[in-house]
């Protein structure tokens, strides 16, 4: 290899030139990334909803020695606890050598994903077809949800207060569901609609049956047959839909994408692609200096409101309990704490370059992305991490040789979005978004790079160990 010129050496020293992760890591680390992602892909297949992720993580934590948090107990360095919030969010904590009064390290990811929720009274029959009415959850492009296989997940609380758990459409041989779309032959009027309006909210009706209960005369026999089947399988009646949370999600299995198998296609990368690596970092961290708190939260996709979202006080209350046990005020712990808001960013898509500003976009395979601010229209609705905190995070990642890049969430005024960061910042905690770049974000089938997923794990682990 020829020696570098003076200009090349100076450029190496002075220029910020994010590069493909393959140029920055060796073959063994590529293999480690692929191995890590095999576990992630299995997790994605097994967990389609916040409740399923919570149950999975509780079990995984218990298998690794985590015990339910007890606020009356005192904990020693190395102790591991978990706290489940209403079955839809979970906190994992590994106690550090320092007192929690000196602050904790928080990684907060969300485990809800865009989907279709059944309405409280969903089931109806129209011309001998049975359908469910839905109300979409989170930001979706509605047209993407038609004519693809769907499954049904959730819980139904019956009249006696007992709970039936529902998961139908995932396993081999199970029936699936679908939202029908108009054939192109008859779509002349529909195709004049704007893309946003192409499929309307009240057109997201899920097809669930077409045979009557019996051939006797009587109205709504197909609906009756569905109620009969639901009663046989789950013990439920139509009224029990009122005390249910049933979520319709894509039923396509996760798979490798590309001849080189470098990417993963699947539903719910946003934000399980940060939840899984942050939980694995919590499981793998050994004797940390600071107490490590991994928060897997619900409700981010609808704005973090609700008592399982991070705009509620459950995370703060958990930290207040730790503070009380350590003999300091809750706000002291918060004020001294540092957080990575572990959420995805929009990767540059060569098919739609116009919505990104190339110099400040994130790219597939350039590693975990630090997003200094999110928001929209003049940084509205963002916490905007300080230079001091950016410096702190950057040094941690560099010292641990984590491949990372920075990225804005789209060009100025192209749109925008938010994460849990601002709700963490509201608690007087230093916070910045760090996560995985995603293609087709919020689609029923999103794409991420395996190397980036692994770098997210490395980043959260480095943060916990720093």
CB of 336 to Mn ion, least distance (A): 27
- Taking residue 222's Cβ as centre, other Cβ atoms within 10 Å add up to 21
Sequence length of the chain is 466
Return the number of the residue (271 or 465) whose C-beta is nearest Mn ion. 271
Return the number of the residue (50 or 271) whose C-beta is nearest Mn ion. 271
Return the number of the residue (135 or 335) whose C-beta is nearest Mn ion. 135
Return the number of the residue (227 or 434) whose C-beta is nearest Mn ion. 434
CB of 446 to Mn ion, least distance (A): 10
Work out whether 117 is an interface residue with Mn ion (CB under 5 A). no
Return the number of the residue (270 or 452) whose C-beta is nearest Mn ion. 270
Residue nearest to Mn ion (CB): 271
Stretch that binds Mn ion, among 87-95, 159-167, 262-270, 456-464 (CB under 5 A): 262-270
CB of 115 to Mn ion, least distance (A): 11
Work out whether 343 is an interface residue with Mn ion (CB under 5 A). yes
CB of 112 to Mn ion, least distance (A): 9
Footprint of Mn ion on 398-437 (CB under 5 A): none
CA distance 125 to 220: 6
Per-residue contact string for residues 269-298; x = within reach of Mn ion by CB under 5 A: -xx---------------------------
CA distance 357 to 344: 17
CB of 319 to Mn ion, least distance (A): 22
CB of 110 to Mn ion, least distance (A): 6
Residue in this structure with the two tokens 């090349």, named with its chain if needed: 8
Stretch that binds Mn ion, among 14-22, 197-205, 335-343, 359-367 (CB under 5 A): 335-343
Work out whether 112 is an interface residue with Mn ion (CB under 5 A). no
Return the number of the residue (223 or 442) whose C-beta is nearest Mn ion. 442
Stretch that binds Mn ion, among 37-45, 125-133, 278-286, 340-348 (CB under 5 A): 340-348
CA distance 450 to 436: 10
CB of 432 to Mn ion, least distance (A): 15
Stretch that binds Mn ion, among 24-32, 266-274, 323-331, 364-372 (CB under 5 A): 266-274
Return the number of the residue (51 or 269) whose C-beta is nearest Mn ion. 269
Residue 459's nearest CA partner among 186, 312, 293, 277 is: 277
CB of 109 to Mn ion, least distance (A): 8
The count of chain residues that interact with Mn ion, using the rule CB under 5 A, is 3
Return the number of the residue (272 or 366) whose C-beta is nearest Mn ion. 272
Stretch that binds Mn ion, among 186-194, 264-272, 364-372, 423-431 (CB under 5 A): 264-272
CB of 355 to Mn ion, least distance (A): 16
Return the number of the residue (343 or 408) whose C-beta is nearest Mn ion. 343
Footprint of Mn ion on 25-44 (CB under 5 A): none
CB of 166 to Mn ion, least distance (A): 24
Return the number of the residue (130 or 346) whose C-beta is nearest Mn ion. 346
Q: Which chain residues interact with Mn ion by CB under 5 A?
A: 270-271, 343
């Amino acid at each position: 290899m020829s020696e570098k010129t003076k200009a090349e050496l100076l450029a190496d020293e002075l220029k910020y030139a994010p590069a493909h992760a393959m140029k920055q890591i060796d073959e063994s680390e590529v293999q480690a990334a692929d191995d890590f992602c095999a576990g992630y892909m299995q997790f994605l297949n097994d967990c389609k909803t916040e409740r399923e992720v919570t149950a999975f993580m509780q079990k995984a934590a218990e298998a690794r020695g985590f015990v339910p948090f007890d606020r009356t107990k005192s904990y020693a360095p190395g102790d591991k606890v978990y706290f489940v919030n209403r079955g839809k969010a979970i906190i994992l904590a590994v106690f550090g050598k320092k007192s929690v009064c000196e602050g904790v390290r928080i990684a907060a990811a969300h485990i809800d994903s865009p989907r279709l929720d059944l309405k409280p009274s969903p089931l109806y029959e129209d011309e001998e077809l049975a359908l469910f009415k839905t109300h979409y959850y989170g930001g979706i492009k509605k047209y993407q949800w038609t004519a693809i296989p769907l499954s049904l997940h959730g819980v139904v609380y019956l009249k006696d207060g007992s709970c039936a758990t529902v998961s139908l459409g995932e396993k081999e041989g199970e029936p699936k569901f679908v939202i029908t779309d108009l054939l192109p032959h008859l779509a002349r009027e529909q195709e004049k609609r704007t893309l946003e309006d192409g499929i309307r909210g009240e057109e997201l009706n899920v097809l669930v049956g077409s045979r009557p209960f019996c051939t006797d005369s009587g109205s709504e026999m197909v609906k009756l047959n569905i109620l009969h089947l639901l009663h046989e399988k789950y013990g439920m009646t139509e009224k029990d839909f009122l005390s249910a949370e049933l979520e319709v999600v894509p039923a396509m299995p996760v798979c490798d994408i590309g001849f080189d198998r470098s990417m993963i296609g699947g539903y719910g990368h946003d934000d399980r692609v940060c939840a899984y690596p942050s939980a694995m970092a919590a499981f793998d961290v050994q004797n940390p200096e600071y107490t490590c708190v991994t928060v897997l939260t619900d409700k981010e996709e609808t704005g973090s409101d609700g008592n399982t979202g991070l705009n509620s006080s459950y995370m703060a209350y958990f930290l207040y309990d730790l503070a009380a046990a350590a003999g300091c005020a809750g706000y002291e712990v918060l004020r001294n704490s540092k957080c990575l808001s572990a959420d995805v960013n929009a990767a540059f898509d060569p098919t739609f370059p116009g919505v990104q500003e190339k110099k400040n976009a994130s790219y597939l395979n350039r590693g975990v992305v630090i997003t200094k601010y999110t928001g929209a229209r003049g940084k509205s609705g963002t916490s905007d991490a300080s230079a001091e905190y950016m410096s702190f995070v950057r040094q941690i990642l560099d010292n641990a040789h984590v491949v990372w890049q920075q990225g804005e969430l789209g060009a100025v005024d192209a749109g925008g979005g938010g994460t849990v960061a601002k709700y963490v910042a509201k608690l007087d905690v230093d916070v910045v978004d760090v996560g995985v770049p995603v293609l087709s974000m919020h689609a029923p089938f999103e794409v991420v790079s395996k190397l980036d997923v692994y770098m997210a794990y490395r980043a959260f682990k480095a943060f916990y160990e720093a």
